[in-house]
Structures are given as C-alpha cells and as structure tokens.
Amino acid sequence: MLTYQRGFFCGDLSIRYPYHECTITVPMLLVCMLLLPMLFLGVVEIMRLCHNFRLRQYLRNTSLSLGCFSFGFIATYLSTELAKNVVRRLRPHFYMACRPQLNDGSTCDDPKNRNLFVEQYYCSNRNLSARQLRELYVSFPSAHSSLSFYAMLFLAFYLHAIWRGGRGVNRVLRHLLQFLFLSLAWFISLSRVADYWHHWSDVMAGAVMGIIYATLTAIYVGRFLSYYTSSSASSAISPHHHHHQQQQQQHHINKQSCLHQTSNKLKASLKHHQHVGSSTVSFQPSQQQQHTLSHEPTPPPQQ
C-alpha cells in the first residue's frame, strides 16, 4: 500500500469515470509516431535522389532528417514526462481503479466525506502493480497527444518543404497527405478522452506542446522554412528540380561556348576579307588613274 500526497475532493466527479483499456497502446503509439515516420523519411529521401542516386548523398540527407526528427521527438517526450511528474494530476478513472481509503478507514462514499478534500489515503485495490499505480497520477499532459502532434506536424512541415512546384493533382496529393497526418494525430488524442485516460485539458495541453516543438524543430533545427523560401536551397525541394537545374546550367554553358566560337569565326572571317581587300587596292589602279593613263600623249619616236 502506497500513500500519495496528491489530494482530491471526494465529490469530484471528473475522477470517477469507469476504467477502459486503451484504444491506442504505448507500443502502437511508438510504431505509429516513431518507426513509421522514420521509414517515411527514408523512403522520401530515396525518391528525391531516384534520378541521380548517390549513396553518400542519400546517407547524408537521411541522417540529417532522422537526426532532426529524433531530436525534437526526444525533447517533446522529456518535457512531457517532466510535466507529468511535477503536476501529478489524477486520471479520470482514478477513483474506480484506486478505490482510495482514508487513514481512518472510511471512504469517499461515506456521507460525512462527500465534500472533504483528502490528502492522506492509500489505494485499497491490491491488484494494481507499481507501474499501474504510478499511471494513475500522470494525467497532465497527454504524452499520446504531444508525441502524435509533434510527429505528424513535423512530417507535414517536411513534406511541405521538399515537395514544391507541383500543381493540380500533385498539389492536392501533398495537401491530402498533410491532412491525413494531422487527422491521425487528432484521432489518437481524442481516443485518450474517449477511453477516460485523460481529461480534455490534458489532451489540449499535449497538442499545444507537440505543435510548439514541431514548429521550433522544423524552423530552427531542420530549417525547413529556409528550404522553402531560399533559392539557393531550391534544388532540394522537388525530386526532379535538381536534375532539371543541372540540365539548364549545362545548356547555358554550351550556348555560351557556341556563341563564343561563332564570334571568333566571324572575327577571323572579317580580318581575312579586310586583308584581301587591302591587297587588291594596292595592286589595281583606280578608275581615275586608268583615265589619266589612257589620255597621256604617246612620246614621238626617236629619229
């Protein structure tokens, strides 16, 4: 029997909900919000380099993306656990799972304790393990909500940064994936309220925490905003943009080389014509000289 100092009112109905099993368990949460996002990042990095795949570049891009995601995920988890252990808010099914008993042997069901604020008590349910007992005091904030909103919003930012330039179907598909990501986070968060494992304020606080960490990680750690706005990073936006930009640069270089060669040929041809023209003028008399020579008197023959 363990005694806790987190008090409660015996008449508080918010902690008297029935106990239900979790719809989304912790292993399911880790698969959906940790393993699948990492797999998604790895697949997208392959698609970005499919036209010019280089193993070193792929490993570099993947390690940066996974490192950025993992950093924010760990920061979100540690912040959530810190808040849980500091606040120690009771879960909605606390009373039904714990069945608290006061030190004098009475319970909250006694009429005399209806409006009593209880601080000294112990859980009379001996079927609870130490881990299950601890879980009754960590309602605020929701880790399911914070981690799911962080992971899904991070993927939405990541997808928005690397998938640009598309119109029509591509643009609709991009926004559809972003909507599905956020909808999954919202569903997981709502399931915690429906299962009576969290109060609605716990879920909202966790969602806000996940959104803040995802935004800060995307902007300042992953620099997704600079990828989207900077022209120097535009080659990393679209899977086909880098290849197309290289083709344009090569075409521009070839065009300049061709123009340079043509200019040299024209200069050489012009010099050749000028040289031939000057030679013709120096050897052929002009029309005036021919006229003067034709009218010169012929000298008389010598006697």
Concerning whether 144 is annotated as a catalytic residue, the answer is yes
Concerning whether 243 is annotated as a catalytic residue, the answer is no
Report which secondary-structure segment, H or E, holds 278: helix 241-283
Bridge-based pairing state of the strands 100-102 and 121-123: antiparallel
Q: Of how many residues is the chain composed?
A: 303
Selecting among 93, 160, 198, 199, the annotated active-site residue is: 198
The per-type count for the chain, helices as H runs and strands as E runs, is: 11, 4
Q: Which residues of 18-48 are buried (b: 16+ CB within 10 A; e: fewer)?
A: eeeeeebeeeebeebbbeebbebbeebbeeb
Using an 8 Å Cβ cutoff, are 10 and 113 in contact? yes
Using an 8 Å Cβ cutoff, are 155 and 185 in contact? no
Using an 8 Å Cβ cutoff, are 7 and 140 in contact? no
Selecting among 93, 144, 160, 199, the annotated active-site residue is: 144
> Where in the sequence numbering do the catalytic residues fall?
144, 198
